[in-house]
Structure 1
């Protein structure tokens, strides 16, 4: 019986949605065991929370420095091996850098850092550490997104000619219109959230998804952002035109003020021969569109899907799989990498995805600030 990987978590205590998501996902394939961490800035709160979720207090620490100090004293077989960072954005970089420098594997929430410069430093740090690093662009873990990626790679769509991604939410709508609230939450504070709210939070999901499924990279972009109020320093809505090459174009449309929307993430890729469409709120349906043919609907778990899609499918056809399963597939891929097992290169987003995301955010903000002009992404 193989030993479970010892997982520590930073943040995600209390009723945090992201905390529950990571804990459930890490347990799915019996590869990880959550053994400790720093769930809350207050040690007493962390210890109380650890009792609530059934974790021994032995590995609950007052802060990251204390965790590293104590864990590195232990024999390798007793140490926390990988740490998931679920804190506000401004803590991602210093925490990830310190963990890598001390030999830990890292799973980091997005955006990876608050600046492109930090992302490049983190990439250099990882190259020296030679450990495993994953960024949780969760939606890449859905079986039908993996099927979409494989179908495009196999040429079923032909040459790609149009990409359209929409990510609409409405959660910030009541906050942005209340002056006190919009000036008090961390997501709209550049010191804690970085230079972008909407593009940093969900726009990077869209950018990563575009490049993940299509196999193409954005070369240039033009952005138009909306801040709604003059005293609000971070975007809450925006549209970005994309150029992958001279004749392959696309668009990313994101909003956190789309009133009534929940988590409307839609991905549409069109080629010369066919198109594919996927909607996150109905993730078990992948639609294939062809001229002169009836629309085809592909669903997970069937033998007509690729081996990569089937590897990420946990239930028989007709049984819905969702975001917990998608995140679980990312953790599964990380476990394979840590154990030195063979894995598909698309099983989890890595440092380069995080770096691309930060480059995207800064280029989008730069394009908007310069009067909505085309700017080039770094290669």
Structure 2
């Protein structure tokens, strides 16, 4: 089967999120990135697209140019789905135009800057029948999916308490500098919407608790922190939650939690047990039951649900970060091929492979000779 033709808006050369999306799209060999608009400056977008090996004819000046030219192509050659990786204020107009022109859409969160905009997209999608995904990234972790399945299966019983925390510290060195806090787009309501912390990471936490519990939040009580009078955007907040199933909970989000990196922790407590998952250690799902030892579930094992196993790309004991590790080796080899050696140890050498073979043979020899000491090097 041919790969799905993927276009990208945003996510250019200096974008972390762009790397994440391109790698993610390549993992299961389902997509092929064929074009897009990677930067608002056309020359930068063009140069970056060329670095990716894309056809310059599909590196467009802007979204209007992309839609116009792609609509001229035959159906089998046209971009099918487009990822929107731009700042928040561009999500709505871009997604709207894409759906109107019959493209499927993958969009970063928050979806839009207002609920009214979001409703327009919902209605438009229903009319056009296009696929539209929002990248609440953490729901893709196998052990999050295992948590969801276990809760649905009643393993921990009726949910009583939900505690979700998402703490970062990256705004701390910015917020205390008047010039910096007034020039960062995340703290600009015109670009980010009415919320910074809750809009950026609090929405992840909110989506997560509804995702894993299968319940909707019915009532909230929020206390937000802005720190400075001239800062119009929240950078910290606590929200009390009341769920449809009578459970109660708390959502804590902060971007001024000094020293924290990406501390996203989800804790769900039921009448028969509790489940805990931490994003910084995503391969461990903890099951806690009164009177029993703590159980640690890990991805790839047959005791996990089919939903969890479908999203597990590796055997047990292999963290998902191994993809990054392999990518770094490919980078080292590519640098060597291009005469751009930067670091010793950037990739394993032939000599290391040979030494590995020596180790194998000497090990077998030691066993056969009566379990004796053998020098690896004669």
Q: TM over 0.5, yes or no?
A: yes
d(CA) in 2 for partners of 1:70, 1:35: 13
d(CA) in 2 for partners of 1:108, 1:253: 25
Shift of 1:247: 3.8
2:108 corresponds to which residue? 109
1:210 corresponds to which residue? 209
- DSSP 3-state at the match of 2:191: helix
d(CA) in 1 for partners of 2:67, 2:149: 40
Shift of 1:322: 5.0
d(CA) in 2 for partners of 1:322, 1:286: 17
d(CA) in 2 for partners of 1:119, 1:310: 32
d(CA) in 1 for partners of 2:104, 2:245: 40
d(CA) in 2 for partners of 1:41, 1:324: 30
1:291 corresponds to which residue? 290
Shift of 1:47: 0.7
1:265 corresponds to which residue? 264
Structure 1's 112 and 25: CA in aligned 2 closer, same or farther, altered over 3 A? Answer: same
1:232 corresponds to which residue? 231
Count of matched residue positions in the alignment of Structure 1 and Structure 2 = 324
Instruction: State whether structure 2 residue 97 is matched by structure 1 residue 60.
Output: no
d(CA) in 1 for partners of 2:174, 2:16: 19
d(CA) in 2 for partners of 1:321, 1:30: 17
- DSSP 3-state at the match of 1:150: helix
1:141 corresponds to which residue? 140
Shift of 1:56: 1.7
- DSSP 3-state at the match of 1:287: strand
1:329 corresponds to which residue? none
d(CA) in 1 for partners of 2:99, 2:50: 28
2:335 corresponds to which residue? none
**Is contact 1:142–1:322 with CA below 8 Å preserved after alignment?**
no
- DSSP 3-state at the match of 2:72: coil
- DSSP 3-state at the match of 1:302: coil
1:181 corresponds to which residue? 180
Counterparts of residues 192-207 of structure 1 (less than 5 Å): 192-207=191-206
CA offsets per residue over residues 230-256 of structure 1, 9 Å max, x none?
A: 000000000000001484100000000
1:366 corresponds to which residue? none
d(CA) in 1 for partners of 2:283, 2:40: 38
Shift of 1:313: 0.2
1:340 corresponds to which residue? none
CA offsets per residue over residues 165-194 of structure 1, 9 Å max, x none?
A: 000000111010110010011100000000
**Is contact 1:103–1:129 with CA below 8 Å preserved after alignment?**
yes
Moved more, 47-56 or 167-176: 47-56
d(CA) in 2 for partners of 1:232, 1:142: 35
**Is contact 2:215–2:245 with CA below 8 Å preserved after alignment?**
no
Shift of 1:15: 1.9
d(CA) in 2 for partners of 1:88, 1:129: 25
Deviating runs (4+, > 2 A) in structure 1?
Answer: 322-325
Instruction: State whether structure 2 residue 26 is matched by structure 1 residue 31.
Output: no
Instruction: State whether structure 2 residue 317 is matched by structure 1 residue 318.
Output: yes
Instruction: State whether structure 2 residue 295 is matched by structure 1 residue 305.
Output: no
Instruction: State whether structure 2 residue 50 is matched by structure 1 residue 51.
Output: yes
- DSSP 3-state at the match of 1:80: coil
2:126 corresponds to which residue? 127
Counterparts of residues 150-189 of structure 1 (less than 5 Å): 150-189=149-188
- DSSP 3-state at the match of 1:78: coil
2:354 corresponds to which residue? none
**Is contact 1:144–1:284 with CA below 8 Å preserved after alignment?**
yes
d(CA) in 2 for partners of 1:277, 1:223: 23
- What is the RMSD of the two structures over their aligned residues, measured on CA atoms? 1.2
1:4 corresponds to which residue? 3
**Is contact 1:13–1:49 with CA below 8 Å preserved after alignment?**
yes
- DSSP 3-state at the match of 2:261: coil
**Is contact 1:6–1:81 with CA below 8 Å preserved after alignment?**
yes
Shift of 1:58: 1.5
- Per chain length, whose mean CA-contact separation is higher, i.e. which structure has more relative contact order (CA < 8 Å, sep 6+)? 1
Shift of 1:324: 7.9
Which structure 2 segments of 5+ residues have no match? 325-378
CA offsets per residue over residues 195-215 of structure 1, 9 Å max, x none?
A: 000000000000000000000
**Is contact 1:153–1:215 with CA below 8 Å preserved after alignment?**
yes
d(CA) in 2 for partners of 1:246, 1:308: 24
- DSSP 3-state at the match of 1:219: strand
1:16 corresponds to which residue? 15
